[in-house]
Amino acid sequence: MKLTLKIWRQGGKYKGEFVTYSLDNINEHMSFLEMLDVLNEQLIRQREEPIAFEHDCREGICGTCSLVINGRPHGPLKGTTTCQLHMRTFKDGETIVIEPFRAKAFPVIRDLVVDRSAFDRIIQAGGYISVNTGQAPEANSIPIEKEVASRAFDAAACIGCGACVAACPNASAMLFTAAKVSHLALLPQGQVERKRRVLRMVAQMDKEGFGRCSNVKACEAECPKEISVSNIARMNREYLFAAVASETIA
């Protein structure tokens, strides 16, 4: 395959611009990140600065491979992370535009790498449960209905990649935050901090500068793990319940 790549470069001698590269003899069975590896090898041989991009597991689990490809977070395939996207998805001679996630809360560090530590701070605000450490309890010691367990598992599938933010016209983090809130709110282990959790996580989300949800549902459409927007509705109910309870206590 022969490809033309228009890639966002920012940092060093690049002040923030698209730079065009050409690649020949790309194997259609390569993953998208392997294709970028080939490009970087070419740039290094030419004594040019390689392109910075994030990756870790390359198995669709960690979410660090987040890129906007031809205007879509993670590329054109539904339910697929960038690292699991293969070059056979594209046509020979095609021009591919690659850029980082765009959001005020995700500042660009360099080239295709953005700072997503805002998500970490949302989790730190309340995405946890307080339990005594020690020997792990028997897995079946706490009975949980199958339907409830399934909904919790679906929410827990969120890998925190930020595609929901990149897809949203308001750069909202509601789907990410809602997935984390729903996961623990549905399980008995998460009941102790249930009210405090949602209030703190939503407050931190707003503090980080993410936009408001306007029900466009682009987040669900582009999520590589296909997290449902029903989690946002659940988080809104959780928040309203917690806010009313907090005012009643006060």
Domain at 117-249: CATH code: 1.10.1060.10
Query: DSSP letter string over 151-192?
Result: HHHHHHT-----HHHHHSTT-B-HHHHHHHHHHHHSSGGGST
Q: Which residues contact 241 (CB under 8 A, 6 or more apart)?
A: 195
- The domain defined by 3-99 folds into Ubiquitin-like (UB roll) (3.10.20)
List pLDDT tens digits, range 143-195: 899 999 999 999 999 999 999 999 999 999 999 999 999 999 999 989 989 99
Q: What is the pLDDT along the chain (250 residues), one digit of tens a residue?
A: 999 999 999 999 999 999 999 999 999 999 999 999 999 999 999 999 999 999 999 999 999 999 999 999 999 999 999 999 999 999 999 999 999 999 999 999 999 999 999 999 999 999 988 876 677 677 678 889 999 999 999 999 999 999 999 999 999 999 999 999 999 999 998 998 999 999 999 999 999 999 999 999 999 999 999 999 999 999 999 999 999 988 765 4
Same fold, 3-99 and 117-249: no
Distance CA 66, CA 163 (A): 7
Residue 211, CA distances (Å) to 81, 141, 167, 204, 236 in order: 23, 41, 12, 12, 15
Domain positions in the chain are 3-99, 117-249
How much is the pTM? 0.93
